[in-house]
Each structure stands twice: as structure tokens, then as C-alpha cells.
A and B are shown apart, each in its own frame.
Chain A
Amino acid sequence: SQQGEEDPQALSIQEGENATMNCSYKTSINNLQWYRQNSGRGLVHLILIRSNEREKHSGRLRVTLDTSKKSSSLLITASRAADTASYFCATDRKAAGNKLTFGGGTRVLVKP
């Protein structure tokens, strides 16, 4: 079963705009991770945020975590055509034996 649910399921923006996607989860987590997948190939790890952290930045990426609301958001600033991909959140829960469980994903299309 999926721990994380993401919205929107799909997002279409112009190059240069910001893209925001959200992830909600149901039970306590150790950490929450975001991954990118291009065209059905391998997943690339973007950022990991631990349960005691509220915000992290990596380049044009900003991730927030609100454990009281059991939600996270990923913001991509100044998007580029190369950012076109599917983005997945994944939660690492001790209660689930530290299994990494993926959300449904957001498909992002950045139009040049």
C-alpha cells in the first residue's frame, strides 16, 4: 500500500516558472525523500529531509516537511525543460521496518 499520496498528479508549466508539488502520508516517519524519474528509467535521489527538520535546500530545490500535518512539499524554482520528469516522494518508516514506500508521483511537464 502507498504511504505517500502526491498532488497534483500532473503539472504543466512554462520554462522559468516555479513548480510545486505536495506529498501527504499517514504514519510517523524517519525521513522523507524525493526522487526524480525521467521517461520510465531509473530514479535519481534529489533530497532527504529527516523528521526533525522543517526545510532543506539543494540548488533550485526547496523541500519542506510538516510532521504535524504529515505533509511535505517540493518546490522547483526557475524550471527548465530538463526538469520534465515524474517526481516521487518516498517515506522511510521505522514501523514498516525502514522500508522505503513511494507515493503515486507527480508528472511535471516544463514547456520551453
Chain B
Amino acid sequence: DTEVTQTPKHLVMGMTNKKSLKCEQHMGHRAMYWYKQKAKKPPELMFVYSYEKLSINESVPSRFSPECPNSSLLNLHLHALQPEDSALYLCASSRGYGEDTEAFFGQGTRLTVV
């Protein structure tokens, strides 16, 4: 199984809502990532988890809250988002953070904040 599965595929939420994005992988990867991608732009790193611990937070606003309950799961909790947060949110995993290997990406969650 070489898949990273993200749910939901699409999400529309109001600015006062709380929602969560979910990501799952069963490749035994020990590094997991959240990226944000705006239209016609490259993905931008948000968070890195290594061995279930948060390693990198790229100065992401606190209205985005990541969580790694176990080595296979990664969540992104959303609260009080702004319309400019609308984007494609991509989860990725790799064998290990800092190792010389490729990242596997999920299909993304397309988020619209209204």
C-alpha cells in the first residue's frame, strides 16, 4: 500500500466553524507533512511531524492546529478560518524526516472558507 489517504476531498466551512482534515498512511513512514497550495502556486510547507512529534511549524497561524495521534494518522484542526485560507491542503509522508527519500502525497482536501 503506497497511498496517502486524505478526507474529506472537499470541504466548505464558515468562518465560525470548527472542522478537521484527516490524513492516513500505512507505509510505515515516520515523517508526515501538511502543505498548503493556492491556485497556480507551488505547495508551501506548514508543519512537519517526525516520529509523532512536531518538528517544524512554519509560523502557521494558530487557527490551524495539527495533531498526530499515532504514526499512521495526521490531523489538521481548523477553527475561525478566513476566506484567504481557502486552498488545497496536501498531506504527505516520507520514510523519515531528513532522510534522502521522496515524499508521497495524498490527493488533497480542497477547502473553501465562506
Contact = CB atoms under 8 A, between A and B. Distances in A.
Interface of A: 2, 30-31, 33, 35, 40-45, 48, 50, 88, 92, 97-105, 107
A31 B45 CA distance: 17
Interface of B: 4, 33, 37, 39-45, 48, 55-56, 88, 90, 92, 97-98, 100-108, 110
Interface of A is mostly: strand
A104 B101 contact: no
Given A43-B92, A107-B40, 4 more contacts: A33-B102, A35-B105, A43-B105, A103-B42
Contacts of B92: 43
A30 B100 contact: yes
7 contacts: A2-B42, A40-B88, A43-B105, A48-B102, A97-B56, A99-B48, A100-B103
